Amino acid sequence: MARTRHTVEGTPVGQVDLAVVTPTGTRRTDPLPLLIVHDGPEYSRRAHLLKVIREARACGRVPAVRVVLLEPGPRNERYAANPDWATALTEHVLPTVHTAYATAGKPTLMGASLGALASLQAEWRHPGTFGALFLQSGSFFRKRLDDEEDFEFWDRVTAFVTSVRRARRRRTDAPIVLTCGTEEGNLANNRQMAQVLAAQGHDVTLHELPGRHDWRFWEKGFDPFLLTLLQGSEHRTRRAGEAHDADA
């Protein structure tokens, strides 16, 4: 898998660094499904994300997927329900990637902990941008549930979570898959978030897995849950193409 580094300048949060990983045997001009990854270097190094995808492709379980590994930069400032990060991602980073690489269908967006929160907020504020969300152990903090008041962006996070809970209708058609460890503190708020999204009419599933708030356990959620989403990315691309043909 070839890795190319890019820097996106002039975003609302400043410079954003990323790496685009292209599957072996493909070129920039080949339209491929796109996976956008918060905390990309950590997912690659500590959760072996690229290895899992590469082996799944070799077995024919997923199509060739182009992966964008986002470097977090000032992570808490960006990922803790910062609307400027959602804008930077959707209106600056994605257009840069789309200009440099042929893309098939809407991208899948994923993240863990605050990265999961940032993923949900990006699609919530810019609905229709992403084709699917994979949210691991999301930091969906609530004042009634969580003992994180000392976190510097507590008010911003809880305000966004409250705004999601107050919505009365579906915000996005993207499938939303949540995973969370049975031994971690975010389990209760993930259960509640899944219930809220389902009540609003979203296509959402929560998978509770043995484990804690840790990269090793997040890796265990890739198979089958992320891989199933990536399988679906091929079908969503086909449907989008069929709809486009019908409109023509």
Distance CA 171, CA 168 (A): 9
120-139 pLDDT tens trace: 999 999 999 999 999 999 99
Distance CA 199, CA 195 (A): 6
Q: How confident is the model at residue 17 (pLDDT cuts 50, 70, 90)?
A: very high
54-80 pLDDT tens trace: 999 999 999 999 999 999 999 999 999
Q: What pLDDT sits at residue 247? A: 37
CB 48 within 8 A of CB 219: yes
**Domains, the chain, ranges and CATH?**
2-247 (3.40.50.1820)
The neighbour count for residue 24, using CB atoms within 10 Å, is: 10
Q: What pLDDT sits at residue 151? A: 80
3-state secondary structure of 141: coil
Q: What pLDDT sits at residue 140? A: 97
- Percent of the chain past pLDDT 90, that is, above it, reads 87
Average pLDDT score over the chain: 93
206 torsion bin: left (phi>0), alpha (psi -120 to 50), beta (else): beta
pLDDT at 236 over 70: no
3-state secondary structure of 144: coil
Q: What pLDDT sits at residue 148? A: 73
164-223 pLDDT tens trace: 999 999 999 999 999 999 999 899 999 999 999 999 999 999 999 999 999 999 999 999
In terms of pTM, does the model score above 0.85? yes
SS3 sequence of 201-243: CCCEEEEEECCCCCHHHHHHCHHHHHHHHHHHHHHHHHHHHHH
pLDDT at 246 over 80: no
Distance CA 220, CA 215 (A): 9
